[in-house]
C-alpha cells in the first residue's frame, strides 16, 4: 500500500494546522459561515440534520488494518461508536463536533488518512476498483494511477473552486467494479495495439437530476500524459462550466450541450497548448508508487479448492457464503472475500467500532493486513488463502458480518436519506431494512439470483438508484414521503440508467411493488436467466401491468 513519505506527511500536517486555524477564525467571527462553509467542506465537514458529519476518504477504496483501527478509534472517541461506509468508498461519522474536528484530522493524519476534498466543488478523492491488485481480470493496478491523480489533485491551486464537484474513478479491469461511466471522468486502463499502457477516457457521466452515462472522448491516452489531459479537461470545465444554475453546473451538462465531439476537440486543443513535460508523469515516480502496491510473492496453491469443497460439504451456510461472497484471485489458492455490511434488517454500510476492530484483526490474520471498501457499501478482504476461508467465515459470523448476500436482493445500496441528510425528501434506510427483512430467507435470495436494489432519498442519487436493477427514489409529495420505482439500471461495464415504471408509492406500497416486480421476474424467467436478462428480454410492460393494472 502507499505509505506517505516526509513530503506527503509535511503537506498533510500543514493541512491539519491550516484547518485548526480556520476553525479558530470561524469561532472568533473572522470568517462568516458563508466563507467558512466551502473551507470546511473541502475538509469533509458537513452540517447534517443532527450534527456535523465528517466524511473521511478511504484512498481509492484501500485501507490497512491500522487505518481501519483508527476509524474504530474515531468512532469510539468522537462519535457514537459507529461509522457509515458510503457509495463513494468513504466513511462518514455522523455525530461530530466542529470543535473536535481538528483533533480528529490530526489523529487520522497519524496513519496517512485525511478528509481532504471529500466534499466541496473541487476534485473529489479518487475512487477505484475495490478488487485492485487482487482481481484475476485486471490489466494494471488502478491504485498506482489513482495515487498519482490524488497527488496532482490535492489542494490544486487552479481547480479548487470549480462550478461543481468533480469525481474521477479508475478501473484496471474490464468488469468495471468502480462504475466509471457514472463519473465526471472515468478512466479505464487499456493497452493499445503496440502494447503501450494508457487510458480510455470517459467524460460527463453522473447521476442526479440529469443522469448520463459518460461518452468516450479519448479512445487511447498514453499513461504518461494522464495529468496533462486531466489538466486540460479541468481547465475547459473551470472556464466554461455553468455557474448560474447549480443543477446545470456539472461537467456532464457542458459535455451534453457542446456535444461529446466538440468537447473532446476543446480539450485536445487545450492539451496541445500544454507543455508536454510540465505534467508528464515521471517514470521513476510511477515505479516508486507501483512498488508500494506490489503484492508480495504468494505461493500458488492448486490443492486448496479441493479442501474447501470438503469443508463446504459439511456446512451449507459456508457453501452459500463462498458462492456469493468470494471471487477469484489472480493467484491460484487465494480468494477475494466480501464482508457484507448488509445484515438482515441492518443499516446498509454501517459498522460498529468493535466490528471495525475485528475486521482489522481478521485482515492481519487472513489478508496481508489489507481491507477494501466497495461503492456498494461492503468491505472486502482481498488476499485470503482459500484454505482459510472456513476460518474467516466463522470469525465473521461471530460479529454478524458473514451474511451470504453479496450481489443478491438484500445487498441493498441506500443513502442516509431523511434520517440524517438535510437534502433528503424521504427516508431510505427504513426501506432497505424492510426489504431486507422481507427477503431474509437465504434460500429464496439465492434462488432469485443477482439483483441490485438501490435507494436514494432525493434526486442527488447518492444511493445510485439510477444504476440499480431496481431503483427507488424518495420524493416529497406535499409533505408526504413518496417513492418512485425505476427498472433496468446497470452500474457495471454496460452502464445504463433505469426507467421510471409509473406513479410513485407510499412506504408500504413500494415494498409491495418490489415484491411484485420480483414475483413477476420469477414467473417469466427461463432457466438460469438473471433479473436483468429477463427484463431485457421482456421489457418493462409485464412489470408495469402487474404493478398498475390491478390496483
Query: Which residues from 47-66 bind other proteins, rule CB under 8 A?
Result: 47, 49-52, 64
Is 370 a binder of other proteins (CB under 8 A)?
yes
Q: How far is the CB of 347 from ligand SF4 (least distance, A)?
A: 13
Q: State which of residues 82, 199, 271, 531 lies at the interface with other proteins (CB under 8 A).
A: 82
Q: How far is the CB of 484 from ligand SF4 (least distance, A)?
A: 13
Q: State which of residues 132, 389, 424, 459 lies at the interface with other proteins (CB under 8 A).
A: 424
Pairing relationship of beta strands 91-96 and 127-128 according to DSSP bridges: unpaired
CB atoms within 10 A of CB 435: 24
Stretch that binds other proteins, among 97-105, 170-178, 200-208, 484-492 (CB under 8 A): 97-105
Distance CA 75, CA 77 (A): 6
Q: Counting Cβ atoms within 10 Å, is residue 294 exposed (0-12), middle (13-18) or buried (19+)?
A: exposed
In the region spanning residues 387 to 416, those forming contacts with ligand SF4, defined by CB under 6 A, are 415-416
238 binds, among ligand SF4, other proteins, none (CB under 5 to 8 A by kind): other proteins
Stretch that binds other proteins, among 170-178, 214-222, 291-299, 510-518 (CB under 8 A): 291-299
Distance CA 60, CA 175 (A): 17
Q: State which of residues 90, 456, 490, 532 lies at the interface with ligand SF4 (CB under 6 A).
A: 456
In the region spanning residues 379 to 418, those forming contacts with other proteins, defined by CB under 8 A, are 397-398, 400-403, 418
Q: Are 95 and 419 in contact (CB under 8 A)?
A: no
Distance CA 4, CA 413 (A): 32
User: Which 8-state DSSP code applies to residue 394?
Assistant: H
Q: State which of residues 421, 429, 435, 497 lies at the interface with ligand SF4 (CB under 6 A).
A: 421
Torsion 217-218-224-228 (CA) sign: negative
DSSP per-residue string spanning 103-139? HHHHHHHTTT---TTSSSSSBPPPEE-TTTTTBTTBS
415 binds, among ligand SF4, other proteins, none (CB under 5 to 8 A by kind): ligand SF4
Q: State which of residues 211, 382, 457, 504 lies at the interface with ligand SF4 (CB under 6 A).
A: 457
Distance CA 455, CA 448 (A): 19
Q: How far is the CB of 209 from ligand SF4 (least distance, A)?
A: 11
Q: How far is the CB of 539 from other proteins (least distance, A)?
A: 36
Is 444 a binder of other proteins (CB under 8 A)?
no
In the region spanning residues 205 to 234, those forming contacts with other proteins, defined by CB under 8 A, are 227
- SS3 helix, strand, coil % of the chain, rounded to 5? 40, 20, 40
Total count of residues recorded for the chain: 551
Q: Are 237 and 162 in contact (CB under 8 A)?
A: yes
Q: State which of residues 207, 355, 484, 486 lies at the interface with other proteins (CB under 8 A).
A: 355
Q: State which of residues 193, 194, 296, 549 lies at the interface with other proteins (CB under 8 A).
A: 296
Residues near ligand SF4 (CB under 6 A): 415-417, 421, 423-424, 456-458, 460-463
Amino acid at each position: 500500500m502507499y505509505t506517505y513519505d516526509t513530503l506527503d506527511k509535511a503537506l498533510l500536517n500543514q493541512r491539519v494546522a491550516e484547518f485548526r486555524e480556520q476553525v479558530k477564525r470561524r469561532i472568533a467571527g473572522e470568517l462568516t459561515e458563508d466563507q467558512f462553509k466551502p473551507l470546511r467542506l473541502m475538509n469533509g465537514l458537513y452540517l447534517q440534520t443532527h450534527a456535523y458529519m465528517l466524511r473521511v476518504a478511504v484512498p481509492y477504496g484501500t485501507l490497512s488494518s491500522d487505518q481501519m483501527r483508527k476509524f474504530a478509534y474515531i468512532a469510539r472517541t468522537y462519535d457514537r461508536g459507529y461509522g457509515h461506509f458510503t457509495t463513494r468508498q468513504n466513511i462518514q461519522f455522523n455525530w461530530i463536533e466542529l470543535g473536535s474536528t481538528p483533533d480528529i484530522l490530526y489523529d487520522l493524519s497519524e496513519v496517512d488518512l485525511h478528509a481532504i476534498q471529500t466534499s466541496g466543488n473541487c476534485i473529489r478523492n479518487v475512487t477505484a476498483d475495490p478488487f485492485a491488485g487482487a482481481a484475476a481480470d485486471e490489466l494494471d493496478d488502478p491504485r498506482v494511477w489513482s495515487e498519482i491523480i490524488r497527488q496532482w489533485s490535492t489542494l490544486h491551486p487552479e481547480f479548487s473552486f470549480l462550478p461543481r464537484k468533480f469525481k474521477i474513478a479508475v478501473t484496471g479491469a474490464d468488469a468495471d467494479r468502480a462504475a466509471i461511466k457514472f463519473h465526471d471522468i472515468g478512466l479505464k486502463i487499456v493497452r493499445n495495439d503496440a502494447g503501450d499502457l494508457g487510458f480510455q477516457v470517459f467524460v460527463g457521466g453522473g447521476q442526479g437530476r440529469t443522469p448520463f452515462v459518460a461518452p468516450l472522448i479519448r479512445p487511447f491516452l498514453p499513461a504518461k500524459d494522464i495529468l496533462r489531459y486531466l489538466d486540460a479537461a479541468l481547465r475547459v470545465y473551470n472556464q466554461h462550466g455553468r455557474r448560474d444554475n447549480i443543477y446545470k453546473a456539472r461537467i456532464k451538462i457542458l459535455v451534453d450541450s457542446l456535444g461529446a465531439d466538440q468537447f473532446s476537440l476543446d480539450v485536445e486543443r487545450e492539451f496541445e497548448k500544454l507543455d508536454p513535460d510540465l505534467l508528464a508523469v515521471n517514470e521513476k515516480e510511477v515505479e516508486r508508487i507501483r512498488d508500494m502496491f506490489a503484492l508480495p510473492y504468494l505461493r500458488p496453491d492448486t490443492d486448496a479448492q479441493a479442501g474447501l469443497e470438503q469443508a463446504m460439504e459439511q456446512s451449507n451456510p459456508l457453501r452459500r457464503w463462498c458462492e456469493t461472497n468470494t471471487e477469484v484471485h489472480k493467484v491460484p489458492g487465494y480468494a477475494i472475500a466480501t464482508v457484507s455490511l448488509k445484515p438482515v434488517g441492518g443499516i446498509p454500510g454501517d459498522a460498529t467500532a468493535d466490528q471495525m476492530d475485528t475486521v482489522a484483526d481478521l485482515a492481519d490474520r487472513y489478508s496481508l493486513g489489507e481491507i477494501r471498501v466497495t461503492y456498494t457499501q461492503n468491505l472486502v478482504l482481498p488476499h485470503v488463502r482459500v484454505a482459510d476461508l472456513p476460518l474467516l467465515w466463522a470469525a465473521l459470523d461471530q460479529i454478524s458480518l458473514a451474511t451470504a448476500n453479496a450481489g443478491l436482493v438484500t445487498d441493498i445500496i441506500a443513502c442516509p436519506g431523511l434520517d440524517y441528510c438535510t437534502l433528503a425528501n424521504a427516508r431510505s434506510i427504513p426501506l432497505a431494512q424492510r426489504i431486507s427483512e422481507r427477503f431474509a430467507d437465504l434460500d429464496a435470495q439465492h434462488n432469485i439470483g443477482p439483483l441490485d436494489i438501490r435507494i436514494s432519498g432525493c434526486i442527488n442519487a447518492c444511493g445510485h438508484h439510477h444504476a440499480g436493477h431496481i431503483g427507488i427514489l424518495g420524493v416529497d409529495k406535499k409533505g408526504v414521503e413518496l417513492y418512485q420505482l425505476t427498472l433496468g439500471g446497470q452500474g457495471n461495464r454496460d452502464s445504463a440508467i433505469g426507467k421510471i415504471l409509473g406513479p410513485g408509492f407510499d412506504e408500504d406500497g413500494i415494498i409491495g411493488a418490489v415484491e411484485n416486480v420480483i414475483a413477476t421476474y420469477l414467473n417469466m424467467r427461463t432457466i438460469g436467466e438473471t433479473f436483468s436478462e429477463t427484463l431485457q428480454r421482456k421489457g418493462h410492460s409485464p412489470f408495469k401491468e402487474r404493478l398498475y393494472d390491478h390496483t
